[in-house]
Amino acid sequence: MENKIKDLMQRIEAMKASNEQEIEELRVRLLGKKGEVTALFEEFRTVPPEMKKLFGQKLNGLKTAAQAKIEELKNSVGKQVSSSSKTDLTMPGVPYLTGSRHPISITRNEIISIFSKSGYSVVEGPEIEDDWHVFGALNFPPEHPARDMQDTFFVTSGDNPVLLRTHTSSVQVRAMEKLPLPIRIICPGRVFRNEAISARAHCIFHQVEGLYIDEGVSFADMKQAILLFAQEMFGKDAKIRMRPSYFPFTEPSAEVDVSCNICKGKGCNICKGTGWLEIMGCGMVDPNVLEASGIDSRKYSGFAFGMGVERIAMLKWQVKDLREYFENDLRFLSEFETAI
Ligand code: DAH
């Protein structure tokens, strides 16, 4: 028996296996019901009592060695599998999706950054406003059609009803009421109009309002400020033109066109063959508006302008349907990933 134990011990030490199946076969061969180690334990019963202690110890040592060998083989085979066949280090990595800014935010941020370079600071005002700040203080006569239920979402009725602002010009009024002069601000924000949703109109959209009030501000200053903006936004070669217009809060008023950046002024279907695209309204702040907010119109003058952010973004990226901005379709939004 002593020789059998010695012989088996040597064979166990030399055992090798290259996969899990072979290890399992070894385990059965040694420790299974009919295994060699198990068989020696059977034989142990016939050992004379005085030898039992010695052989018992040797047999237990053999069993422990067999178990340890099986574990050792399992570990080394497991390592080979994980480092060789399962991982292909030459595979391309899995790209992970990053978010991107919404085109309206990108455009609004760009407008803000252009004007902040000229010293304009950002002022925001409430979206739920009263009639005075949206219309009254801006020289809208009481019967003006813009106050009509068809355009404005009213929250309450009465003499000075609460409503959703229809333009960011209301923030001008709040600024003139509380800021020290001179004032040089831009006011980005959401506005609301009671309109049917279509490719060209939405009931919620975004505007940026600009206001500059100081002593001796002239129409020429306004023209220069807007030209600088157009060139930063649409490219160094951009030109602007002003067409006479009317707004209750400015006198004189104008509408500003920028030369079409797609056909470079030659005429295409984006500019409808004119070579020009309308980008904003502007004008010299009406003295009535200055006085309504307590500013001396004999001492101070100023200009104001207002533009639609969706419109600027549409012109910049040739977006044809305004509804795309609100549908959150990732195929549309991901086109702006590289824009900023
Ligand atoms: N508030 C006008 C609108 O909603 C835009 C506008 C035009 C703003 C002329 C101005 C301005 O400040 O001077 O259409």
pLDDT along the chain (340 residues), means of 10: 86 86 88 89 86 86 89 79 69 84 95 97 97 95 81 90 96 97 98 91 95 98 97 94 96 95 80 90 98 97 97 89 91 80
- Do 233 and 259 form a contact (C-beta atoms < 8 A)? no
> Do 57 and 126 belong to one domain?
no
> Do 159 and 293 belong to one domain?
yes
Q: How many residues are recorded in the chain?
A: 340
Q: What is the pLDDT of residue 257?
A: 95
Q: What is the pLDDT of residue 106?
A: 95
Closest ligand 1 atom, CA of 168? 1
Q: Is residue 93 part of a domain?
A: no
Q: What is the pLDDT of residue 19?
A: 84
Domain containing residue 143: CATH number: 3.30.930.10
> Do 118 and 69 belong to one domain?
no
Q: Both ends of the chain: CA-CA distance in Å?
A: 83
Q: Is residue 13 part of a domain?
A: yes
Q: Is residue 7 part of a domain?
A: yes
> Do 175 and 219 belong to one domain?
yes
> Do 131 and 64 belong to one domain?
no
> Do 198 and 235 belong to one domain?
yes
Residue type, 233: M
Q: What is the pLDDT of residue 79?
A: 65
Q: Is residue 96 part of a domain?
A: no
Q: Is residue 75 part of a domain?
A: yes
Q: Which residues pair with 240 in a beta bridge?
A: 258
Q: Which residues pair with 104 in a beta bridge?
A: none
> Do 77 and 119 belong to one domain?
no
CA dihedral in degrees (50, 51, 52, 56; nearest 10)?
150
Closest ligand 1 atom, CA of 207? 4
Domain of residue 262, residue span? 103-339
Token match 């950046």: residue? 261
- Do 321 and 199 form a contact (C-beta atoms < 8 A)? yes
> Do 129 and 168 belong to one domain?
yes
Tokens matching residue 320: 């044809």
Residue type, 298: R
Q: Is residue 97 part of a domain?
A: no
> Do 78 and 121 belong to one domain?
no
pTM above 0.75, yes or no: no
> Do 70 and 123 belong to one domain?
no
CA-nearest residue for atom 6, ligand 1, is 306
Question: 120 in ligand 1 pocket by Cβ < 6 Å?
Answer: no
What secondary structure does DSSP assign to 300-316, as a single string? -EEEEEEEEHHHHHHHH
Give, for ligand 1, the residue of 173, 219, 305, 307 to mutate: max count of ligand atoms closer than 8 Å to Cβ: 305
Question: 302 in ligand 1 pocket by Cβ < 6 Å?
Answer: no
Q: Is residue 223 part of a domain?
A: yes
Q: How far apart are CA 75 and CA 70, in angstroms?
A: 9
Q: Which of 49, 82, 115 is the last residue of a domain?
A: 82
Q: How far apart are CA 47 and CA 134, in angstroms?
A: 109
Tokens matching residue 90: 């030459």
Question: 169 in ligand 1 pocket by Cβ < 6 Å?
Answer: yes
Q: What is the pLDDT of residue 81?
A: 54
Give, for ligand 1, the residue of 223, 247, 278 to mutate: max count of ligand atoms closer than 8 Å to Cβ: 247
Q: What is the pLDDT of residue 281?
A: 97
Strands 183-192 and 121-122: parallel
Token match 């900023």: residue? 340
> Do 78 and 113 belong to one domain?
no
Q: Which of 52, 82, 112 is the last residue of a domain?
A: 82
Q: Which of 82, 116, 138 is the last residue of a domain?
A: 82
Q: Is residue 87 part of a domain?
A: no
User: In angstroms, what is the span from residue 276 Cα to ligand 1's centroid?
Assistant: 19
How many folded domains does the chain comprise? 2
Q: What is the pLDDT of residue 100?
A: 86
> Do 158 and 272 belong to one domain?
yes
- Within 13 Å, how many C-alpha atoms sit on residue 152's CB side? 24
